[in-house]
Chains A and B, each alone.
Chain A
Amino acid sequence: MSTNEPALKAKIGILALQGDFQEHSSILCSMGCSSVIEVRLPEHLNDIDGLIIPGGESTTISKLIENYDFTTSLEDYYKENNPIWGTCAGSIVIAKSAVGLEPWKPLNFIDISIQRNGYGRQLDSFQTSLTINKLTSKSAFEGIFIRAPKIISVGKGVEILSVLDNQDPVAVQQKNVLATTFHPELTRDFRFHQLFLDLVSKNLLDQIQDE
């Protein structure tokens, strides 16, 4: 990675309501990000250049989002075209529709339908090697699926970056929004985080050009 990459000086927020947010922040710090912010209240979203919504329990995270007027702030953040990445529970929270999240509603930041615990309970959790388009090197990425959600449909304009052997999409992207149903943050493979930081850098450069 180039040391003058804009994302390294950018403010990266990680939604820290519940879940494995520290695992994400520890990887970003290892990669050289100088400003990683734990987002617990809406005002923590101010000036954030990229937001990660981590793994955890999507019902808990959704409930805590409902408090303190967080939904509106997240929607405003999304509408400004800022990069967002949801992993596992995070991918449920940002989906267009989420089966099993009731009574909570997902945020509709990416045009996918997703089913909570789509592969079953903990006994059905699994680990598998994935091929991911867009990664700088093509070697396999270790996919860790823990009580993972299943993407049951994707809308037009959603790019599929990786699928399981049965063709279920597990990594998808729509413009500046990424969703993965597995946990790159539980590995020491930083390539997916790099993909996200590249989005952040590109977005920052585009903003400078616009001004």
Chain B
Amino acid sequence: MDQDPWLLKTGLARMLKGGVIMDVVTPDQAKIAEDAGACAVMALERVPADIRADGGVARMSDPGLIEQIMESVSIPVMAKIRIGHIVEAQVLEALGTDYIDESEVLTPADENNHVWKHDYKIPFVCGARDLGEALRRISEGAAMIRTKGEAGTGNIVEAVRHMRSIQSEIRIVTGLPEDELPSYAKSISAPLDLIKDIHTTGSLPVVNFAAGGVGTPADAALMMHLGAEGVFVGSGIFKSDDPAPRAEAIVKSVTHYNDPAIIAEVSKGLGEAMSGIDIKTLKSEDLLATRGW
């Protein structure tokens, strides 16, 4: 790698802002997502709800499937690798995938180290529960951040918790006097240079999306109100009764998140949302958000 094309990597995430990125498992679903107004798709063998139900080790999807999905749509295609799996990252780069999600939804390959993402020309998105985690990923080269939420549950509560944490910690950093920044950086295990950057700008240096548990247009709009710059929808669309209208409704609710009348209108008659899981009933070993550090 001769250079880290940071502006091109973070720039693509900026083009996705105000949009919805949808999990798809077939080229047909990808087409439905594109027609519904998705700004990108995440190509997968199984959506998180099925990964959760099936158990076992979840890995990168079949490159053949990812390629078919790339051929079926003209919008950017993302795909997931296991945390720390350098070779899965190299494979997706060789395929020419547009974005890599180093994702806790798959079974981690390395419990200590994430991929050193500066080494790749393809940009990465990573999950985070709080500001410290977001900044650790950015220092490793993540060009986009998303909340972890709790994928495959259809329950928005964890994504809300994570987005609120990130935003409130940003407000704390902005309000601190300069000489207290090192101690605060230490307390949340964040690199000091990035903390200083936030102190000056008042925002993350990369785009921050919501993910993990979005099931309805109102969920998506809620995350936008809390400071998300766009939304990932995993199981929420293709695990619902009638995916196409729900996908379209979620796209509109993200654009018009400040307009309750429109959200009311688009939410009518969508049929059953995916069935959800109360996080409190999950055993700690079944929680995906605690994977990675």
A59 to B31, CA, bound (A): 12
In the complex, B12 has a CB within 8 A of chain A: yes
Chain B residue nearest to A101 (CB atoms) is: B74
Judge whether A125 and B259 touch: CB under 8 Å.
no
Judge whether B98 and A121 touch: CB under 8 Å.
yes
A126 to B228, CA, bound (A): 27
| Number of residues of chain B lying within 8 A (CB) of chain A | 35
| Number of residues of chain A lying within 8 A (CB) of chain B | 35
The proximity string for B residues 1-31 relative to A, scoring 1 for CB distances below 8 Å and 0 otherwise, is 0000101100110111111000000000000
- Summarize A's interface: helix, strand, loop or mixed: loop
The proximity string for A residues 148-167 relative to B, scoring 1 for CB distances below 8 Å and 0 otherwise, is 00000000000000000000
Question: With a CB–CB cut-off of 8 A, which chain A residues contact B121?
Answer: 123
A147 to B8, CA, bound (A): 9
Given contacts A116-B74, A125-B8, contact A56 B15 (CB under 8 A): yes
Question: With a CB–CB cut-off of 8 A, which chain B residues contact A198?
Answer: none
A183 to B14, CA, bound (A): 11
Judge whether B7 and A60 touch: CB under 8 Å.
no
Judge whether A186 and B75 touch: CB under 8 Å.
no
A41 to B258, CA, bound (A): 12
The proximity string for A residues 79-91 relative to B, scoring 1 for CB distances below 8 Å and 0 otherwise, is 0000000001100
Judge whether A186 and B19 touch: CB under 8 Å.
no
The proximity string for A residues 115-136 relative to B, scoring 1 for CB distances below 8 Å and 0 otherwise, is 0110001110111000000000
B residues contacting A by CB (< 8 A) are: 5, 7-8, 11-12, 14-19, 34-40, 70, 74-76, 93, 96, 98-99, 121-123, 251-252, 254-256, 259
Question: With a CB–CB cut-off of 8 A, which chain A residues contact B123?
Answer: 122
Judge whether A57 and B256 touch: CB under 8 Å.
no
8 extra interchain contacts, Cβ-Cβ under 8 A, other than A123-B96, A147-B76? A16-B255, A40-B256, A56-B15, A57-B19, A121-B98, A123-B121, A146-B11, A183-B11
Contact partner of B39 (CB less than 8 A), chosen from A56, A67, A117, is A56
Question: With a CB–CB cut-off of 8 A, which chain B residues contact A125?
Answer: 5, 8, 11-12
> How far is the CB of A72 from the nearest CB of chain B, in Å?
19
Judge whether B76 and A122 touch: CB under 8 Å.
yes
Question: With a CB–CB cut-off of 8 A, which chain B residues contact A126?
Answer: 8
User: Which residues 58-76 of A sit at the B interface, judged by CB distance below 8 A?
Assistant: 59-60, 63-64, 67
Contact partner of A147 (CB less than 8 A), chosen from B14, B35, B98, B259, is B98
A56 to B36, CA, bound (A): 15
In the complex, A18 has a CB within 8 A of chain B: yes
Judge whether A123 and B16 touch: CB under 8 Å.
no
A23 to B10, CA, bound (A): 13
A180 to B283, CA, bound (A): 53
> How far is the CB of A183 from the nearest CB of chain B, in Å?
6
> How far is the CB of B204 from the nearest CB of chain A, in Å?
13
Could you write out 29 A-B pairs with CB less than 8 Å apart?
Answer: A17-B255, A18-B17, A18-B19, A18-B255, A20-B14, A20-B17, A21-B18, A22-B17, A55-B15, A56-B16, A56-B17, A56-B18, A56-B39, A57-B19, A57-B76, A60-B19, A60-B38, A63-B251, A103-B35, A116-B74, A122-B96, A123-B96, A123-B121, A125-B5, A127-B7, A127-B8, A144-B11, A146-B11, A147-B12
